[in-house]
Amino acid sequence: MLENLRISFQGIWGHKLRSLLTMLGIIIGIAAIIAIVSTIKGTNEQIRKNLIGSGTNTVNVRLTASGDYDYEMDYEGLPKGVPVISPEMREVLAGLDHVKSASLYKQRNQVEYIYYNSTMLQGGKLIGADIYYLDACGYVISSGRPFKQSDYDNYRKVALIDSVVSSSLFREENPIGKTIDIKGEPFIIIGTIEESSKFKLEVDSPDQYYEFVDDQGRSGTVIVPDAVWDIILQYDEPQNVKLLADSTENMSSVGKKAADLLNDNVTNKEVKYRSQDMTEQAQKNEDLSATTNKQLIWIASISLLVGGIGVMNIMLVSVTERTREIGLKKAIGARKNTILAQFLTEAAALTSLGGIIGTITGIILAESIGKISKVPVAISIPSVIIAIIFSMVIGIVFGFAPAVKAANLDPIVALRHE
């Protein structure tokens, strides 16, 4: 085996230009596939990071209607047949496996009735939250103080705001202690919040941006105690649940368990609780691009087929050039299997070398594309290993016919060959 490898590399080195041209199809094909796979993997990871966030692991469980059903609210702001989520149920949800915290909240998007003096908050989000909300969302207080239990017990009109609201309404002023107007009711700002984990948002399309903005509330978030929510909006929003999972991998299972638990008490068949975590949306984005990605890989694989045909052609030429050598080996006792193994080894060595060069070229190409077009790149080690093994297989498959031809040569005819 080692002798066959030595002879193979001697032949490749002795015909450097011919060998390079033969490997060219393999190099281009492998390089293209490595570059495509690395770019796709990097883009998918960036999408997942953008949608999920960094370390937040928050899952929303929201009440949704099926189809075009327009549910009728009762005095609690819930559809008929949907019970109020009690504090005891919140404790049960918080005690689920892989749940670190659970919160009950109400939400109104795109509000246009929050003012500071004459300045209106455009398109913000208003949250009526319990005392566990900040923990469940991964928020920390950047200035001021959080809600206290006494705020809920005494129905205090106090509010927390994020940095977007602070800059929109207060500019350079310190918002702590200032009073904002929420639908005609005065609320005192007691603190500002920020996410405990920060990451850079990188998006590739307007749709992806607005999808992310809608979930994360990038137009600004104002949070008030849920005890005073009814003063502002009079029971016209259903309850939602926010869960903090212990890891990104457990987000989907945590959301499903919570939704199933809540739906056990829902008697209205037209509505149900559904978990909404961004891992699902990230998976949808990855699935959406899967077909296109496969097509690109198949197109790149055509050059591998061309490279394989080139290998077969050059090996047939090599058999012709070395007919007398083959005849001499057979005359001194070489068997068919020995000749077959030698030529298969040469073909495999040729394509494997092309695969290695193609892999290196593909990695360089992927990194170059990433730097030029600002596209994230993630090199897939399994794809690199598979690419090299696949290139070796190509050599064996396309080198088999020339190897068989060489093994079946008649030694008498081969020795007479000029």
Looking at the structure, tell me whether residues 120 and 199 fall in a common domain.
yes
Looking at the structure, tell me whether residues 235 and 342 fall in a common domain.
no
Of the pLDDT bands very low, low, confident and very high (cuts 50, 70, 90), residue 80 is confident
5 vs 252, more confident: 252
Looking at the structure, tell me whether residues 46 and 76 fall in a common domain.
no
- Looking at 244, 269, 294, which one is the last position of a domain? 269
CA distance from start to end of the chain? 29
Looking at the structure, tell me whether residues 306 and 235 fall in a common domain.
no
Q: 221-225 and 124-129: which strand pairing? A: parallel
- Looking at 241, 269, 297, which one is the last position of a domain? 269
Looking at the structure, tell me whether residues 361 and 405 fall in a common domain.
yes
276 falls within a domain: no
Looking at the structure, tell me whether residues 128 and 247 fall in a common domain.
yes
346 falls within a domain: yes
Give the pLDDT confidence score for residue 104 in this predicted structure: 93
Query: Measured in whole angstroms, how far is the alpha carbon of residue 371 from the centre of its chain?
Result: 20
Residue type, 206: P
Calpha distance 90→84 (Å, rounded): 11
Looking at the structure, tell me whether residues 227 and 323 fall in a common domain.
no
**Domain total of the chain:** 2
Looking at the structure, tell me whether residues 169 and 100 fall in a common domain.
yes
Domain of 200 in residue numbering reads as 72-269
Looking at the structure, tell me whether residues 154 and 237 fall in a common domain.
yes
219 falls within a domain: yes
63 falls within a domain: no
Looking at the structure, tell me whether residues 317 and 351 fall in a common domain.
yes
Judge residue 207's burial from the number of C-beta atoms within 10 Å of its C-beta, 0-12 exposed, 13-18 middle, 19 or more buried: exposed
67 falls within a domain: no
pTM of the model: 0.57
* Residues 303-340 pLDDT 10s: 777 778 888 887 777 777 667 777 777 777 777 787 78
Calpha distance 342→95 (Å, rounded): 66
274 falls within a domain: no
CA-closest candidate to residue 393, choices 364, 361, 365, 351 = 351
Q: 185-195 and 240-245: which strand pairing? A: unpaired
Residue 283: half-sphere exposure toward Cβ, Cα within 13 Å? 9
Looking at the structure, tell me whether residues 195 and 299 fall in a common domain.
no
* Residues 176-192 pLDDT 10s: 999 999 998 999 999 99
11 vs 226, more confident: 226
Give the pLDDT confidence score for residue 12 in this predicted structure: 67
Give the pLDDT confidence score for residue 217 in this predicted structure: 47
Strongest mean pLDDT among 71-85, 141-155, 375-389: 141-155
Looking at the structure, tell me whether residues 122 and 224 fall in a common domain.
yes
Q: What is the mean pLDDT of residues 391-411?
A: 78
56 falls within a domain: no
* Residues 89-123 pLDDT 10s: 999 999 999 999 999 999 888 888 899 998 998 88
Calpha distance 110→125 (Å, rounded): 6
Lowest average pLDDT, out of 24-38, 199-213, 223-237, 247-261, goes to 199-213
- Looking at 269, 295, 330, which one is the last position of a domain? 269
Q: Which residues, other chains included, contact 19 with Cβ-Cβ below 8 Å and sequence gap of 6+?
A: 11, 12, 13, 314, 350
Residue 66: half-sphere exposure toward Cβ, Cα within 13 Å? 6
